[in-house]
């Protein structure tokens, strides 16, 4: 089978296969992207913004087609897929609306000159290595700000998302983007390593696993290329108290089960204060049990299959190992019988630091509950993770919740909400969750030449 293929994870059926680039194709893509940079960087900022606005409009016009494509490719429930399409379009429109102002020159204190200015300029051709779990949204976070800047993009998508990858390229071209300023490339990992090393490439952004991030960072570092990495997460959902326990449980369920639990910033660890622990866990268990995996094409489905059979097998092995090491399964714990990559909504308890499940990421509909005696213990347990993407704190005592949120070692902390993503908010983590930021003005500050221009009067000889 080809490296790139559309395989319906709900049935296991292979729909279509796509050829990968040959060695000459790699060189052609590098040459074309590098050449396009001269044209796209010279395009007026207002014209770049107009292209992104057309892209946003296309996402709205083709919403159903785009949503159904990823429901077929990676199993996202189609109702959630529509939400992803809308968010992606909003990101492109945000950069169309705000990008021109963000690119204006910054006047500095002249400090002995006539003028000191920082200009924000593009750097060249960039590689984006994107994952399958949010096929459009992840690309928008990278492509939106960098195309607005005037950079050009070589986009390697996940091998299970070829149809959506081609659709995005088609939309950019139809919107009037400079020829070859955005190129979809069906490349292998080895080919991407060679492309990162090529002097025509100026940087790389990867969203994916720790292993992939480390490999890309090593190659990029060896060749002095800028890197942005958005990697895994094991985000905590800290419940200190619950003025409305039912509402908090609903938020916890959404935070864990959205996208069938396949999100780096999903609520994966439920850290619950002792006074509310028993009631919270009982209600959360019941809530998980009410969720039935179903056909992602059905608008009534809230939880679909995992992205692939191998993903379901990996998750099953992780849960089995946790149980063998002493964890308790409160509900679920197994794959669903049948041809699809379905997995039961699962809740684990009694996970201790010596177990693998304590430190690894569970990428699917599996949550872990922990009981803590105090807010200090909640912070300590949360920060014991090697990940640091995001976390949330739930309490009727806003001052206490703010204090706990401030003490979390994460890139994003939320009080009484979890995982909120908006075009103008920065997204990124610390520790093994990666480095760099996407979205908002921060997304335009990564692959940019902040060029200082100073102007002084010509020297005059003393007489």
Domains and CATH numbers, the chain: 4-231+433-453 (3.40.605.10), 235-415 (3.40.309.10)
The C-alpha atoms of residue 153 and residue 81 are separated, in whole angstroms, by 24
Task: Please pick, among 230, 361, 438, 446, the residue that the annotation labels catalytic.
Answer: 230
83 CB burial (10 A radius; 0-12, 13-18, 19+): middle
How does residue 438 score in pLDDT terms, banded at 50, 70 and 90?
very high
Mean pLDDT of the chain: 97
Using 50, 70 and 90 to split pLDDT, how confident is the model at 2? low
Closest C-alpha to 154, from 455, 447, 450, 458: 447
**pLDDT score for 215:** 95
b/e sequence 185-219, b meaning 16+ C-beta within 10 Å: bbbeeebbebbbebebbbbbbbbbebebbebbbeb
Task: Go through 373-382 and write b for each residue having 16 or more CB atoms within 10 A of its CB, e for each that does not.
Answer: eebeebbebb
Apex 252 CA angle, 427 and 211, nearest 5: 45
DSSP 427: B
> H-type helices in 127-209, by residue range?
137-149, 162-174, 189-197
Does position 152 have pLDDT exceeding 60, yes or no?
A: yes
The answer to whether 32 and 183 have CB atoms below 8 angstroms apart is: yes
Q: What percent of the chain has pLDDT over 90?
A: 97
Q: Model confidence over 340-391: pLDDT tens digits? A: 999 999 999 999 999 999 999 999 999 999 999 999 999 999 999 999 999 9
pLDDT above 70 (res 1)? no
pLDDT at residue 461, rounded to an integer: 87
**DSSP, res 459:** P
Residue 63 contacts by C-beta under 8 Å, 6 or more apart in sequence?
82, 85, 86
Instruction: Report residue 111's pLDDT band, with 50, 70 and 90 as the boundaries.
Output: confident
Residues 6+ apart with CB under 8 A from 462: none
Checking if the pLDDT of 331 tops 70, the result is yes
The structure's pTM equals 0.97
Orientation of helix 78-102 relative to helix 137-149, angle to 10°: 20
**What is the DSSP-derived secondary structure letter of residue 259?**
G
pLDDT tier at 462, thresholds 50, 70, 90: confident
Q: What is the mean pLDDT of residues 170-188?
A: 98
Q: Residue 391, class by beta-carbon neighbours within 10 Å (0-12 exposed, 13-18 middle, 19+ buried)?
A: buried
The pLDDT value given to residue 303: 97
Of 73, 161, 264, 438, which is the active-site residue?
264
From residue 141, give the alpha-carbon distance in Å to each of 54, 93, 454: 17, 12, 33
Establish whether 218 is a catalytic residue: no
- The 10s digit of each residue's pLDDT in 392-403 is 999 999 999 999
The answer to whether 332 and 316 have CB atoms below 8 angstroms apart is no
Quickly tell me which residue has 């005592």 as its tokens.
Answer: 397
- 264 classed as catalytic: yes
pLDDT tens column, 112-150:
899 999 999 999 999 999 999 999 999 999 999 999 999
DSSP code at position 339 = S
Residue 271 sits at the vertex; the CA angle it makes with 265 and 275, to the nearest 5 degrees, is: 150
Neighbours of 65 (CB within 10 A): 10
Residue 125 — φ and ψ, nearest 5°?
-85, 135
Average pLDDT for 273-286: 98
pLDDT more than 70, % of the chain: 100
């Amino acid at each position: 089978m080809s490296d790139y293929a559309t395989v319906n994870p709900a049935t296991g059926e292979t729909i279509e296969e796509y050829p990968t680039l040959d060695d000459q194709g790699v060189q052609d893509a590098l040459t074309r992207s590098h050449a396009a940079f001269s044209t796209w960087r010279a395009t007026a900022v207002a014209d770049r913004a107009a292209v992104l606005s057309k892209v946003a409009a296309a996402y709205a016009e083709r919403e159903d087609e785009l949503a159904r494509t990823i429901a077929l490719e990676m199993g996202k429930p189609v109702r959630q897929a529509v939400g992803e399409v809308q968010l992606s379009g909003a990101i492109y429109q945000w950069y169309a609306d705000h990008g021109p102002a963000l690119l204006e020159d910054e006047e500095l204190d002249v400090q002995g000159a006539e003028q000191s200015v920082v200009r924000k300029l593009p750097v060249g051709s960039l590689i984006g290595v994107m994952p399958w779990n949010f096929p459009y949204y992840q690309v928008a976070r990278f492509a939106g700000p960098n195309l607005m800047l005037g950079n050009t993009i070589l986009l390697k998508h996940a091998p299970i998302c070829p149809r959506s990858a081609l659709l995005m390229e088609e939309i950019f071209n139809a919107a009037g983007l400079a020829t070859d300023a955005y190129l979809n490339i069906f490349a292998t990992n080895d080919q991407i390593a060679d492309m990162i090393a090529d002097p025509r490439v100026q940087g790389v952004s990867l969203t994916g696993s720790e292993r992939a991030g480390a490999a890309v960072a090593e190659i990029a570092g060896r060749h002095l290329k800028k890197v942005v990495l958005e990697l895994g997460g094991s985000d905590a959902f800290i419940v200190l108290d619950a003025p409305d326990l039912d509402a908090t449980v609903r938020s916890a369920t959404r935070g864990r089960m959205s996208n069938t639990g396949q999100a780096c910033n999903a609520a994966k660890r439920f850290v619950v204060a002792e006074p509310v622990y028993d009631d919270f866990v009982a209600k959360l268990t019941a809530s998980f049990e009410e969720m039935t995996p179903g056909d992602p094409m059905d608008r009534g489905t809230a939880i679909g299959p995992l992205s692939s059979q191998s993903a379901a097998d990996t998750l099953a092995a992780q849960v089995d190992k946790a149980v063998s090491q002493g964890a308790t399964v409160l509900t679920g714990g197994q794959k669903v019988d049948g041809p699809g990559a379905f997995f039961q909504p699962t809740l684990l308890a009694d996970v201790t630091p010596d177990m693998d499940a304590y430190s690894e990421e569970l990428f699917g509909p599996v949550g872990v509950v922990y009981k803590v005696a105090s807010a200090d213990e909640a912070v300590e347990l949360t920060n014991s993770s090697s990940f640091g993407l995001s976390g949330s704190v739930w309490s009727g005592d806003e001052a206490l919740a703010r204090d706990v949120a401030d003490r979390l070692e994460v890139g994003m902390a939320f009080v009484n909400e979890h995982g909120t993503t908006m075009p103008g908010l920065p997204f990124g983590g610390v520790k093994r969750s990666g480095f760099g930021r996407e979205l908002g003005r921060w997304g335009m500050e990564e692959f940019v030449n902040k060029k200082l221009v100073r102007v002084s009067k010509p020297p005059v000889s003393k007489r």
